[in-house]
Amino acid sequence: MNPRTLLTIFFVAIVGLAIFLKPCVIKKDICSAYFFSYEKNELVFFKENKSFDKHFKREPWILGSAHKEQELIYDGKTLFDSIDRSKALIDLLSMSILEHLQQYYYHHWYGELRVMRGPAFITRGIDRKEIPKFAQNDIMTYDKTNWPKSFEKNIFFPHLNIKTITDSITVPKETKISYKLDGPSHRTEIRFNKPFWFDVRLNFKSRGSLAGLGHLTNILVPESVNDITFDETYKRQSAFQTHQFEIECKATFNRFRVGDPKMLAYREWVEGLFNELHRAYDWELFEKQIYDQRHQDATEAILRMAGAKDHN
């Protein structure tokens, strides 16, 4: 068989394999939200509510330390007076994602994510008991010395906590991290791309805003259930605005590296990353926690009343 025929057969085989091996794609969509007070002209977190306090205060990096910067002055105006609110909130959300990931990936990307809740604080990290030999040196760290300049488009980036090595993000070697902002729509993308291996994208976009707090009014503004008129209830609710956002997580893996131990490890890393972001940010999961907490509070109140009655 002559070389030309062999080359043709090889080319056809490669094309056939490319068609047969479809790209491996992992996707996860997350809905997140922020609440804005017209009266205070700032974000509000309803810390007096147990569930919200647990969600936002006990896990402060869910918001990102950058949320403290909302009181900063820009050209003599506060943040929400001087910058488009949708832009500011998407910037805040995307930076809080980075800050959240720092809690796990400051040393290595390989391993199982662990969350341990104590009475005073939450411990986070990665179980690295058995790092395969191929992954031990397959690391690249982004910190204050080499962070991509594209992130400077984010108004909160200068306040992101990347001052020490423990506040860095470690990814597989040769992975490029980038930040992209799409004009007037403020759609934002954080990308982790290792050529010929994987392409991970976190896309942030606004899903609109709603005057008031919707069905959460009776939980977050409890005065609205205390024998007051409908007009007063409406007035109380309309003092707020709810902003909803979608985080689209998508990872594409090179079809020709299926079966490679590295690719398997990279996929597990991405799956763990997506699952953690879903656990920490998804509103549907959080809302379930809200109602579970209300049920628990009601049960405890009944038990206390029963105990007091027996004591008397």
Number of domains in the chain: 1
Is there a domain that residue 8 lies in? Answer: no
* Count of CA atoms in the C-beta half-sphere (13 A) of 48: 5
- The string of DSSP letters for 6-27 reads HHHHHHHHHHHHHHHSPPEEEE
Q: Is residue 48 part of a domain?
A: yes
**What gap in Å lies between CA 296 and CA 158, rounded to an integer?**
41
Q: What is the DSSP letter of 175?
A: P
**Any domain includes 11:** no
Q: Which residues pair with 46 in a beta bridge?
A: none
Q: Identify the sign of the CA torsion 272, 275, 279, 283.
A: positive
Residue 2 in domain: no
Number of residues in the chain:
312
CA 210, CA 247: separation in Å to the nearest integer? 18
Q: How far apart are CA 56 and CA 68, in angstroms?
A: 13
Q: Say if 14 falls within a structural domain.
A: no
What's the pLDDT at 291?
76
Distance CA 144, CA 133 (A): 28
The pLDDT of residue 60 is 46
Range of the structural domain that residue 139 is part of: 24-302
CA 164, CA 277: separation in Å to the nearest integer? 23
Q: Give a yes or no: residue 308 inside a domain.
A: no
User: CB of 198 within 8 A of CB of 252?
Assistant: yes
One digit per residue, the tens of pLDDT, for the chain of length 312 reads 566 666 666 665 555 555 455 668 999 999 988 888 888 777 887 777 766 766 665 454 444 444 454 454 445 556 666 567 888 889 888 888 888 888 888 888 998 877 766 665 556 667 666 788 888 899 999 987 888 999 988 887 876 655 444 468 999 999 999 999 887 778 999 999 999 999 999 999 999 888 888 777 777 766 544 455 556 666 767 788 888 999 999 999 998 888 899 999 999 999 999 999 998 888 888 888 777 777 777 777 777 777 666 666
Structure tokens at 222: 């409890």
Q: Could you give the 3-state DSSP secondary structure of residue 277?
A: helix
Query: Strand order of the sheet with strand 240-253?
Result: 42-44, 24-37, 240-253, 198-211, 187-194, 176-182
Q: What angle do CA 85, 205, 293 make, to 5 degrees?
A: 85
Rounded to two decimals, what is the model's pTM?
A: 0.79
For residues 173 and 165, give the distance between their C-alpha atoms in angstroms, rounded to a whole number: 17
The reply to whether 12 falls in a domain is no
Question: Three-state SS for 174?
Answer: coil
Q: Write the CB contacts of 100 (distance below 8 Å, at least 6 apart in sequence).
A: 61, 62, 64, 276, 277, 280
Distance CA 188, CA 116 (A): 31
DSSP per-residue letters across 99-160: HHHHTTTTS-S-SEEEEEE-SS-EEEEEE-TT--HHHHT--EEE-TTT--GGGGGSTTGGGS
Q: Report if residue 246 sits inside a domain.
A: yes
Please tell me the predicted confidence (pLDDT) of residue 267.
94
Other beta carbons within 10 angstroms of residue 84's beta carbon come to: 12
How far CA 106 is from CA of 165, 166, 167, 169, 213, in Å, comes to 7, 5, 6, 5, 37
Question: Minimal CA–CA distance to 238: which of 214, 222, 219?
Answer: 214
The reported pLDDT for the residue numbered 134 is 87
DSSP code, position 84: -
